[in-house]
Amino acid sequence: MSRHSVLITRMIPEKAVAYLKEQCDVEVNPHDRPLTKDELLASAKGRHAVMTMLTDPVNAELMDAVGPQCKIIANYAVGFNNMDIAAATERGIFLSNTPDVLTDATADMAWALMLAVARRVAEGDKVTRAGQFVGWSPLYMLGPEVSGKTLGIVGAGRIGQATAKRAIGFNMKVVYTANSPKPDFEKATGAAYLPLDDLLRTADFISLHVPLTPKTKYLISEREFGIMKKTAILVNTARGPVVDEKALAKALQTGQIWGAGLDVYEREPIVEDALLGLHNAVLAPHLGSATFETRENMGFMAANNILKALGGEVPPQCLNPEAAGKR
């Protein structure tokens, strides 16, 4: 029997590729960049499964280019805002993502940014390298204390809750918002549910963990910056378009908020020009899940979803189990 044919649209950790190669014929995009639209459509053609990245538009055009033999498109990401679920279900194609395995790494990144902004780590690094450090001084480069403050979690799902749990070690009060209250989370952390506007008024640190959907696009814009504390620090490790980047740059420039730490951008890899010159913004290049361990585990999880679907089962991290009825 001939082996199933799988495309992986970017190089991922080799062990996960090797795992898939034990059972399938696997082709990996050899370039260290996303495939262009034409390359993606051409190289996906005729595959039984495709492993995609958050930078690949997984839409009807791609699905039709792959063809009716395709059983699954497995995203190498937990976010699936790049995927058209209805189009996949209609065609009987399973979609899957990689939840849980990247939760800790992404929560750590949110904390790295919170601390870096508050304690001016990136700014201080630049000054030191430029030879401008002239010695300890009582009033030099002060920032807000982190311990004891209020952390606002916007989107208390897997990553939001993991970010909140880390706040316990900093003796912080946690407030959160989500579609619905989370009693178990409240019991475990002492967190209190607040509507978004109340959270924005209350929190010293605001960390975003919602998925990108039509409802969360520009969730944080000019109006929201207007109700935050002047001392607030905003951290975004969710998706760029959750924040209106121009409004953020203005809020930082005018002192409407104190600082921001960003891992994601509205038009990646383009970053709003106005942000680049701001000393009170720490800008990371989308590194939320970028640890050796997590990227390998994401690869195994996506590979496993592919193997399950190719074996005729509903994949464990399936986003549209109802596609089974369409095959």
> Is residue 181 exposed (0-12), middle (13-18) or buried (19+ Cβ within 10 Å)?
middle
- DSSP character string of 143-186: ----TT-EEEEES-SHHHHHHHHHGGGGT-EEEEE-SS--HHHH
Give the residue with the Cβ less far from ligand NAP, 19 or 193: 193
Q: Tell me how far apart the alpha carbons of residues 185 and 3 are, in angstroms, rounded to a whole number.
A: 45
Backbone torsions φ then ψ of 174, nearest 5 degrees: -115, 130
- For ligand NAP, the binding residues in 188-217 under the rule CB under 6 A are 209-212, 215-216
Give the residue with the Cβ less far from ligand NAP, 137 or 180: 180
In what helix (H) or strand (E) does residue 292 lie, and over which residues does it extend? helix 292-310
- 187 contacts ligand NAP (rule: CB under 6 A): no
Q: Shortest CA distance to 219 belongs to which of 292, 154, 269?
A: 154
Q: Tell me how far apart the alpha carbons of residues 104 and 294 are, in angstroms, rounded to a whole number.
A: 9
- 157 contacts ligand NAP (rule: CB under 6 A): yes
- Binder to ligand NAP among 40, 58, 87, 102 (CB under 6 A)? 102
- 152 contacts ligand NAP (rule: CB under 6 A): no
- 96 contacts ligand NAP (rule: CB under 6 A): no
- 179 contacts ligand NAP (rule: CB under 6 A): yes
- Least Cβ distance, residue 178 to ligand NAP (angstroms): 4
Give the residue with the Cβ less far from ligand NAP, 160 or 299: 160
Strand order in the sheet with 94-96: 24-28, 4-8, 49-52, 72-75, 94-96
- Least Cβ distance, residue 71 to ligand NAP (angstroms): 24
- 220 contacts ligand NAP (rule: CB under 6 A): no
Q: CB–CB of 49/74 below 8 Å?
A: yes
Site string for ligand NAP, 31-70 (x = CB under 6 A): ----------------------------------------
**Contacting positions for ligand NAP (CB under 6 A):** 78-79, 99, 102, 106, 155-160, 177-180, 209-212, 215-216, 237-239, 263-264, 286, 288-289
